[in-house]
Amino acid sequence: MTIIELRNTFRDKLKFSTNECDFLYKVILKDLCELDPIKIALDPNFIVDKSSEKLILTSLDRISANYPIDYIINKKNFYGYDIYVNEDVLIPRPETEELVEWILDDNINITKTKKVIDLCSGSGCIGIAISKENNYMDVTVSDISEKALEVCNKNKINLDSSINVIKLDLNSKYSSQIKYDIIVSNPPYLSFSELDSIGENVKFEPDIALFAPRNNPLHFYEKIFEFALDNLNKKGQVYLEINPIYIEDFKQLLSRFKLNDVNFRDDFRAKKRLVKVSF
Ligand SMILES: C[S@@+](CC[C@H](N)C(=O)[O-])C[C@H]1O[C@@H](n2cnc3c(N)ncnc32)[C@H](O)[C@@H]1O
């Protein structure tokens, strides 16, 4: 098939706008087939070789079935860094970039090393971005999932990052000899009751990354505060992404832990999704 026929097949088969179909087609051409999308305009009758054609049509079938494009191309841009992703990790979200931005802004003028731990790190996107952007940030990323840690290590190598990667189960008590100055986390925070309201494409992401156990969406926040009591320096900060639906329950949890130096921030969708807790 020619490059333009394949483009038209994308437009015919996908239920998206023409612009969205073209965008997805160009991503597949560029990132999977190493073909320059400019050919669509400059050489529309260019014959795509059989193996690329197969890749393009298989990708089209997967996109039609709501499979995320980021898993197809194994890549998601996060804070300017191309993060490798596969089905073992959550696809980094733009609202999480705002959490990174907050930490970087608060520490723009530091002149001494700060120890940072990213709990529930998934792909390692948060920790990698922070350490790449500020040389004073000595960052450890941690997750329970061995497969997620493999992805972290791959990203560490690909992006020439200095992060430490460790396995850490938040459900087990953890007392490190190192005390951290900053804890950051975007833990699993959905409850199974929200299953019907999440997008079809989200269902391809790992359950362990999405859902809090025991149907308690605040489970990991409790664990993170317990971790902070044992492992955070006095006057340290905890930066979290939270589920805006459970904001009132989250506030009750803060009072239970007697935490009252708290700042909430809206994300770019005007949802209360980011919080900084100073200990
Ligand atoms: C919402 S994902 C966040 C990934 C990444 N921080 C991001 O923002 O893209 C949550 C992560 O928590 C991890 N996780 C789940 N249960 C855990 C536990 N008991 N201890 C530590 N990490 C856990 C999952 O493996 C998953 O990678």
Q: What are the tens digits of pLDDT across the range 96-128?
A: 999 999 999 999 999 999 999 999 999 999 999
Is residue 148 within 8 Å of residue 117, measured between CB atoms? Answer: no
pLDDT value of residue 175: 86
Query: Is residue 215 scored above 90 in pLDDT?
Result: no
Chain CA centroid to CA 123, Å: 7
Report how far residue 235's alpha carbon sits from residue 106's, in angstroms, rounded to the nearest whole number. 14
pLDDT value of residue 214: 74
User: Is 0.85 surpassed by the pTM of this model?
Assistant: yes
Quote the ligand 1 centre to 40 CA distance (angstroms). Answer: 40
Residues 55 and 112 in one domain: no
Tell whether 165 is covered by a domain. yes
- Give the mutation target among 75, 83, 90 for probing the ligand 1 site: most ligand atoms within 8 A of CB: 90
Ligand 1 site, CB within 6 A? 89-90, 92, 96, 120-123, 125-126, 143-145, 148, 168-171, 186-188, 208-209
pLDDT value of residue 192: 84
What's the mean pLDDT in 51-77?
Answer: 98
DSSP 212: P
Confidence of residue 136 (pLDDT cuts 50, 70, 90): very high
Tell whether 162 is covered by a domain. yes
Measured CA distances, 219 to 26, 102, 226 (Å): 41, 24, 11
- Nearest 10 degrees: Cα torsion 77, 83, 86, 92: -60
What's the mean pLDDT in 66-89?
Answer: 98
Tell whether 74 is covered by a domain. no
Domain that holds residue 195: 87-278
Overall domain count for the chain: 2
What's the mean pLDDT in 182-200?
Answer: 92
Residue at 225: amino acid letter: F
Residues 136 and 231 in one domain: yes
Tell whether 72 is covered by a domain. no
What's the mean pLDDT in 74-80?
Answer: 98
- Of 65, 97, 119, which one is at a domain's C-terminal end? 65
The three-class DSSP label of residue 177 is: coil
Residues 120 and 241 in one domain: yes
Tell whether 93 is covered by a domain. yes
Report how far residue 274's alpha carbon sits from residue 124's, in angstroms, rounded to the nearest whole number. 18
The three-class DSSP label of residue 86 is: coil
